[in-house]
Amino acid sequence: MIKPRTPPGVLELLPRDQIAFQRMLDTIRATFERFGFLPVETPVFELSDVLLTKSGGETERQVYFVQSTGALEKTGDALPELALRFDLTVPLARYVAEHEHDLAFPFRRYQMQRVYRGERAQRGRFREFYQCDIDVIGKDTLSPRYDAEIPAVIHAAFSALNIGAFTIQLNHRKLLRGFFEGQGIADDRQVAVLREIDKLDKRGEDAVKATLAGEGFGLGADAIDRLMAFSRVRSQGHDDALAKLDALGAGTPLFEEGREELRALLQRLRAMGVPESDYAINLSIARGLDYYTGMVYETQLDAHPQIGSICSGGRYDNLASHYSKSRLPGVGISIGLTRLFWQLREAGLVATADSSVDVLVSLLDDAELDHALALSQRLRAAGLNVETQQEPRKLAKQLQYADRAGIRFVAIRGEDEAAKGVVAVRDLRRGEQFEVAEAELPSALRTELEQAKLKL
């Protein structure tokens, strides 16, 4: 007999944890739609030559290939025809390029699907995980005003998830690269320096300084010290953010362009009512991916910085350059929800959910089955989620089952209740029981459920 076991690097949940995860997905989806984003789903696999549009990227070295058994002997040394998507950005690029003439621009899309990466098996790292992405894609141009809308969406989503205080950290790649220009760092080395700056939180200043002074970089001590001082700039509050930007002094035209766009973003966040305590400039944020060209974002939980970034993204110049001659600039973010859920659960910030079933209709006597089925249907017609006990059991066993399954209310109709034309309702959360006229049961249960939600 084969021992049942899940493969490493997947998160397989019991039903009540799955309900908690699903509610997070539903909350994020509702927030995205409230801001006018439209749903997109792409196939779990893409053609390999479409997916692997460039070589050498760390992510692309973790690709899972897909091959049918019938095609295995035909491939020879060639790559398999299909590969599982490793993020949602490359499939989006293909999607927009393929459907460019059918889409309305700016194209506002959200996508919430699983992606696959060959991560080294270790605690908290996943080979299959959900990403929740939004992007706004323009045709030829895209106003930087959209860059300010993205953190407003981030703020709305994490406020609705109610997982604690958080800060959306902001920076601008033009500001960074303009500062590098001012330090005499050549264009061909700027991306490499950006990647090292982006590692400050993980590696620490001493390690990054040693790398920048070493082979391949060779930066002088004064230049490195200025880079470190620049990267330490943080703000607390809206006015402080503007003051910190002003205090940077004059810079190159690229530097000034980035600074002005950051100022404009801060003003629009204030106009949209995003609390100033929930966003800050952080000039060490660089985002290591090469395609970011403008505003960049990272979001952290204030009380749990060890969790790291819970949402990140930024502005890019041309999403689909590998697939289309059209210029398609955009801005977007991604929430790695599987890892976030796992981390929140480990930190005790997400609890196992109650069942999605509102009420269990019990059955004490086989002769009452038709009545129990009819009662259940009336409750469902009133908008309640109902499970019906199909075989008579002792009431204690039915209550025990409901409690273990996380069902809060149990409707009970024995001989005494039938004679009085009432139904007894056991509230397992409060350990209380009350009676209600059978005709009033749907409205009574809905009232109880609404009051329970208000107390959460």
Q: Please give the Cα distance from 387 to 346 (Å, whole number).
A: 31
Q: Of 313, 299, 293, give the one whose Cα is nearest residue 172.
A: 293
Handedness of CA 49, 53, 54, 56 (dihedral sign): negative
Structure tokens at 276: 């100033």
Give the rounded percent of residues in the chain with a pLDDT score beyond 90.
70
> Residue ranges of the domains in the chain?
21-346, 359-454
Q: Please give the Cα distance from 414 to 373 (Å, whole number).
A: 15
Q: Please give the Cα distance from 330 to 328 (Å, whole number).
A: 7
- Asked if residue 106 has a cis previous peptide bond (ω within 30° of 0), the answer is yes
Distance of CA 437 to the CA centre of its chain: 45
Residue 424's pLDDT is 97
**b/e burial code for range 159-175 (CB count within 10 A of at least 16 → b):** eebebeebbbbbbbbbb
> Looking at 123-137, 287-301, 382-396, which range is the least confident one?
287-301
What is the tens place of the pLDDT at every residue in 323-365?
Answer: 999 999 999 999 999 999 999 999 888 989 999 999 999 999 9
Residue 56's pLDDT is 44
Instruction: Tell me the fold of 21-346.
Output: BirA Bifunctional Protein; domain 2 (3.30.930)
Residue 207's pLDDT is 86
Q: Parallel, antiparallel, or unpaired: how do β-strands 107-116 and 38-39 relate?
A: parallel
What is the tens place of the pLDDT at every residue in 13-47?
Answer: 999 999 999 999 999 999 999 999 999 999 999 99
Residue 192's pLDDT is 82
**The CATH classification of domain 359-454, taken from the options 3.40.50.1000, 3.30.70.100, 3.40.50.800, 3.40.50.300:** 3.40.50.800
Q: Of 114, 101, 108, 106, give the one whose Cα is nearest residue 42.
A: 114
Please indicate, yes or no, whether the overall pTM of this predicted structure exceeds 0.95: no
pLDDT band at 378 (very low <50, low <70, confident <90, very high): very high
What is the tens place of the pLDDT at every residue in 159-182?
Answer: 999 999 999 999 999 999 898 888
- A 10 A CB-CB count for 97 gives 18
Residues whose CB falls within 8 Å of the CB of residue 66, separated by 6 or more in sequence, listed in order: 45, 80, 81, 82, 83, 84
What is the tens place of the pLDDT at every residue in 57-102?
Answer: 555 678 999 887 776 666 666 778 899 999 999 999 999 999 999 9
Residue 332's pLDDT is 97
94-97's contacts with Cβ under 8 Å and 24+ in sequence apart are 94/42, 94/46, 94/50, 94/320, 94/323, 95/40, 95/42, 96/137, 96/319, 96/320, 96/324, 96/328, 97/320, 97/323, 97/324, 97/326, 97/328
- A 10 A CB-CB count for 337 gives 21
